[in-house]
Amino acid sequence: MEIYVYWFLLALVLVGLEIATGTFYLLVLAVALAVGGAAAVLGAAMVWQFVCSAVTGVAGIVMLRRWKSSQATKAPEVGLDIGLPVKVIKWNDDGSARVFYRGAEWDAELESPDVPREGTLYIKAVHGSGLVLTHNKQQ
């Protein structure tokens, strides 16, 4: 059996695995193997078959990673706590506060230094185990 048959069979196996996983990385590698098989069909030496396959695989992976990173968007911050009032227990000298919310004490900070400390404060965001407070109720 000719060597190009092995290249194309391996490419076909990777396409089948790609269908099962859906990550596109195996598809890129399958294309790289097909390029190696095409080089074999054209009569290139074994070394050049591997070089063509490797260059295509590396270039494809780099392009796929760049495409995926450009498609990634930050998930919108959706929290059930946003807009709910808190009770300030104590203000610290650095502008942070200790608040009572959901039956427990939380560390909190103001969204900006010009937010008034008196009146009802509302949760604007949750960062880790701390709350960001604002004077305006969020919807």
CA 62 to chain centre: 16
**If you ran DSSP here, which 8-state letter would residue 117 be given?**
S
What's the confidence (pLDDT) of residue 139?
59
What's the confidence (pLDDT) of residue 78?
64
Given a cut of 90, is residue 82 above it in pLDDT?
no
In a domain, 13, yes or no: yes
Mean pLDDT along residues 72-98: 81
In a domain, 78, yes or no: no
For residue 46, what are the domain limits?
Answer: 3-71
7-16, 66-75, 100-109: least confidently modelled range? 66-75
End-to-end CA distance of the chain: 69
In a domain, 98, yes or no: yes
Instruction: Tell me the β-bridge partners of 86.
Output: 121
Task: Tell me how many domains the chain contains.
Answer: 2
In a domain, 101, yes or no: yes
Report CA-CA distances (Å) from 96 to 23, 81, 91, 92, 99: 44, 19, 6, 5, 10
In a domain, 9, yes or no: yes
Mean pLDDT along residues 21-34: 94
In a domain, 80, yes or no: no
